[in-house]
Amino acid sequence: MRAIVIHKARDLRVEDRAESAPGAKPEAGQVQIKLATGGICGSDLHYYNHGGFGPITLKEPMVLGHEVSGFVSQIGEGVTGFEVGDLVAISPSRPCGHCKYCAQGLRNHCLNMRFYGSAMPFPHIQGAFQESLIAEASQCVKANGLTPGEAAAAEPLSVTLHAVRRAGEMLGKKVLITGSGPIGTLCILAARATGAAEIVVTDLSDPALAYAKTIGADRTINVATSGDALEDYHPDKGYFDVLFECSGAAQALAAGIAAMRPRGVVMQLGLGGDMNLPMMLLTAKELDLRGSFRFHEEFATAVQLMQSGQIDVKPLISHTFAIEQAVEAFEIASDRAQSMKTQIEFAASA
């Protein structure tokens, strides 16, 4: 089978790899998947462009990818609820189910988490950008009625649903989103679906902000060209109830906090390394600063929201490439002037 493998920064290859074992079949509780579509995530781009991020670096070749969908091709013993040919969204999150955090229902904090395409442990956890994949049935959610591209977007959508859940009540809230990449833009959909009344989005890129406007932002602000526009929201100690900080930039966080009303909620999603905080302002406004990391049970909800039509991710899928064009796909995905969500097609049908 073919797989998309990163060897070092800027060295991405489509390679023929053997199945996990000759004639490999799913074991009890597993399903075999013919991969359909994979979305390129920010972490994939870090591996491609830099060979890793922060202290996490490649030490051996690794299959990339964790935003994937596919068609069930074989079903292991004891698995119910699936049929051969079903389109499924595949969660990359594989908590152990036994550690103290899993026992507390905090499965996104599992001490023994196995997450597709991660160089954090060694040997690395291989990713899902491969034509054939054996997955636990518990990872798979039936996505019939969606396109493979929509189903593959369940993973990033789940990230934003988890963040909205962490933020609390959204009905009638005024929301600021800083950073309009794929996660920031999906936050628009997640916040709106849960009742946000007004959504303002900031970014440095006009093309990114155009996507935000297309899917429902009430106002977009390019802070590179209109850096003082957020000052419109400073009077009376601020305006916004909730901030979703999706850029990972300290400047964006500080600007967002200045526009928050007292006792608002600051949700930090962007991972840009350690950031300085305007602690005096955070304290004086009695703001709640909360982190949001990955997801778990939100994955099935993401699929259901797309199936019901309550959330439409199709406008965010900007490019789709064949597996043979993997390098070109990663180049386009790295260019924010062109790409929002770039996907790779492995198979068009079951």
**Residue 220: beta bridge partners?**
201
- Return left, alpha or beta for 143; rule: phi > 0 is left, psi -120 to 50 is alpha, else beta: alpha
How would you write the pLDDT of the chain (350 residues) with one tens digit per residue?
Answer: 999 999 999 999 999 987 654 456 889 999 999 999 999 999 999 999 999 988 899 999 999 999 999 999 999 999 999 999 999 999 999 999 999 999 999 999 999 999 999 999 999 999 999 999 999 999 999 999 999 999 999 999 999 999 999 999 999 999 999 999 999 999 999 999 999 999 999 999 999 999 999 999 999 999 999 989 999 999 999 999 999 999 999 999 999 999 999 999 999 998 877 888 999 999 999 999 999 999 999 999 999 999 999 999 999 999 999 999 999 999 999 999 999 999 999 988 87
Segments of the chain assigned E as strands: 2-8, 11-16, 30-39, 52-53, 56-57, 62-63, 67-75, 87-90, 93-94, 114-115, 132-136, 140-142, 174-178, 198-203, 219-222, 240-245, 260-268, 288-291, 317-322, 341-345
Residues 6+ apart with CB under 8 A from 83: 72, 75
Cβ(146)–Cβ(71) below 8 Å = no
Reduce the DSSP state of residue 192 to 3 states and report it.
Answer: helix
| Half-sphere exposure at residue 32, Cβ-oriented, CA atoms within 13 angstroms | 15
pLDDT recorded at residue 22: 44
**Local structure of 17: helix, strand or coil:** coil
Contact 340/182 with Cβ under 8 angstroms?
A: yes
CB 347 within 8 A of CB 87: no
Q: What is the pLDDT of residue 227?
A: 83
Where exactly does CATH 3.40.50.720 map onto the chain? Answer: 158-291
145 neighbors 307 (Cβ within 8 angstroms)? yes
**The CATH fold of domain 158-291:** Rossmann fold (3.40.50)
Q: What is the separation of C-alpha 206 from the centre of its chain, rounded to a whole number of angstroms?
A: 21
Q: How big is the chain by its Cα radius of gyration, in Å?
A: 20
Q: What pTM value is reported for the model?
A: 0.95
Residue from 250, 252, 161, 212 nearest 336 by CA? 212
- CATH code at 2-153+313-345: 3.90.180.10
In the block, residue with structure tokens 């005024």: 174
Q: Do 260 and 177 touch, CB atoms closer than 8 A? A: no
pLDDT in the model for residue 275: 85
Ranges for all domains in the chain classified under CATH 3.90.180.10: 2-153+313-345
DSSP state at residue 51? S
Asked if the peptide bond before residue 182 counts as cis, ω within 30 degrees of 0, the response is: no
Q: Which residues lie below 8 Å from residue 112, measured CB to CB, with a gap of 6+?
A: 95, 96, 98, 99
Distances (CA, A) of 273 to 46, 54, 72, 252, 319: 13, 8, 38, 14, 29
* CB contact at 8 A, 16 and 145: no
By C-alpha distance, which of 346, 327, 320, 329 is closest to 128? 346
Length of the chain (residues): 350
